[in-house]
Amino acid sequence: MLRRSLRGLRHAPRPLVVILIFAALESLAWDIATPAFQGPDEAAHFSYVQHLAETGAPPSPNTGTAPNSTEAQDALDWLNLTSLVGDLGARPAWTAADLSLWHRIERQMPAGSRANGSGPNAQAKNPPLYYALMAIPYRVFVWLPLLKRLFVLRLISSFFRLGTIVLTWLLAGALFGQVRWKQTLAAGVVALQPKLAFMSGVISVDNLLTMAVTAFLLAAVLLVQRGPSRGRVLAASGLAAAATLTQGRGLVTVPVLAIALAIAWIKHRPDVRAMVARVLMAAATIVAAVLVYTAFTRVSNGTSAFGGQVSQLNSGGGFNIGQFLSSVWQFYFTPLPGMQPRIGPAYGFRQVFIWTFYGTFGSLEVNFSSQFYGALQVLSGLGLVGLYTACALRWRRLWAAWPAVTVMLAMLVTSIGFLHYVSYRALLGNGGSDPLITGRYLLPLVSLWALAITFTIGSLPRRAAVVLGAVILVIGVILSLDAIGITAARFYA
């Protein structure tokens, strides 16, 4: 099997191999630069994996003896990792004397010190797929001490980012044809997205969610391009189910799946009986995923399905459509005359689409300079103008590819609309204190972002397009290296 894999790697396109090698080294650098448990909610994600691997049951979101196991909590306390979270003046305990003391504490831990983190754990509301997958390497490397075990688990979690890069390469091929420079640009842009690279270096469900949504998008595009065969319908519905079982935000794939099936029927006009059977098969796949998770949580801890952002769907006060639309408008633009002030803090597209999509590392306290963010906002604005111009100039090509374009627009609109609705309900429920959404929640759309850049650049004459594409990748390299550098300096300087 290893020989076959190596043979397949030799036949892989050379630009893709180079991108994957760079991305793997980048994830390794992030793993080293970010101390243990310093990713967003990383301690809670690790505790979910650990408790599931050690006991066969997830932790509880509401009850339990402790949110972290004795092993993890002692590391957080003795290595100064708890006080490190969010405090720019704090540093981890990482000298030889600190580690010697920690190893002595590890050796003296009583039996059961790894299995007693039963909750309450805020991440226990999440579906189990990511944690169940990560529990496998946890059991394989259970003999390693905690810090080395966490290091290895982070590396394994980074494989999901490599999968996202490969899927973006394939998606670009499905949309633009086997044009190597366009596939290279799309995959390279994803590989050099600094926030995605950072997240690959920590334990987080977002890594699998991003790959699952990208895989679903590829399957949905192939479904509408080539027709609703049984295999394509099963692939698209299975991947939608996988996204749904990964995190609540994966539910956005379900309406997109329905739209893709409708488009496939309109375009390809298959036999009605066969199409009905395949639609029922897709519906059964989604229902089965929901039932599996519901049964899983009922047996293990009795919590309701699909927590996290989805728990906000029915929380808070009464929904007001006018207030919601006004809130969304003011997220992007200045209020129109007569509009009431937006509920919640001063938090809008800059914070989500610029600052926290490109930056904010560690526990969200490590940032690029304000000049970097200003330049990124200008470049993003120019990119939107370029995308609009490219669409206006090449509208006939877009119209000819309407099935795939519709699927991608459906994914974009459904995802952004879902996040706005959840944010609005969260503001109603918490007194307007926390808008909930952040740029990290946009990462499942990273392939769409890369494809939009590639389409825009591809509308230029070929020589100019290749040069500008190379400039964009160079900017990506600068951003990536700077992000790793400022993070390492924050924790170890």
Which among 40, 62, 7, 73 has a CA at the least distance from the CA of 443?
Answer: 40
Under the phi-then-psi rule, with left for phi > 0, alpha for psi from -120 to 50, and beta for the rest, what region is 227? left
What average pLDDT score do residues 305-332 get? 72
For the chain, percent of residues with pLDDT exceeding 90: 78
**Global pTM value:** 0.94
pLDDT tens readout for residues 119-146: 899 999 899 999 999 999 999 999 999 9
Higher-pLDDT residue of 158 and 63 is: 158
Nearby residues of 247 by Cβ (< 8 Å), 6 or more positions away = 126, 127, 130, 205, 206, 209, 308
pLDDT tens readout for residues 367-389: 999 999 999 999 999 999 999 99
Q: Which amino acid belongs to residue 173?
A: G
pLDDT (0 to 100) of residue 434: 81
pLDDT (0 to 100) of residue 294: 76
Which among 27, 106, 98 has a CA at the least distance from the CA of 73?
Answer: 106
Q: What tokens appear for 6 in the block?
A: 């190596």
Nearby residues of 341 by Cβ (< 8 Å), 6 or more positions away = 330, 335
pLDDT (0 to 100) of residue 29: 97
pLDDT tens readout for residues 385-444: 999 999 999 999 999 999 999 999 999 999 999 999 999 988 888 777 888 899 999 999
pLDDT (0 to 100) of residue 304: 46
Q: What is the number of other CB atoms lying within 10 angstroms of the CB of residue 370?
A: 9
pLDDT tens readout for residues 323-335: 899 999 999 999 9
DSSP 67-126: SS-HHHHHHHHHTT-TTTTT-TT-----SHHHHHHHHHHHHTPPTTTTS---B--GGGGS
DSSP H helical ranges for 430-461: 446-458
Burial classification of residue 218, based on how many CB atoms lie within 10 Å of its CB (0-12 exposed, 13-18 middle, 19 or more buried): buried
pLDDT (0 to 100) of residue 302: 47
Length of the chain: 493
Rounded CA gap, 405 and 409, in Å?
A: 6
Rounded CA gap, 240 and 460, in Å?
A: 35
What average pLDDT score do residues 179-193 get? 97
pLDDT (0 to 100) of residue 7: 52
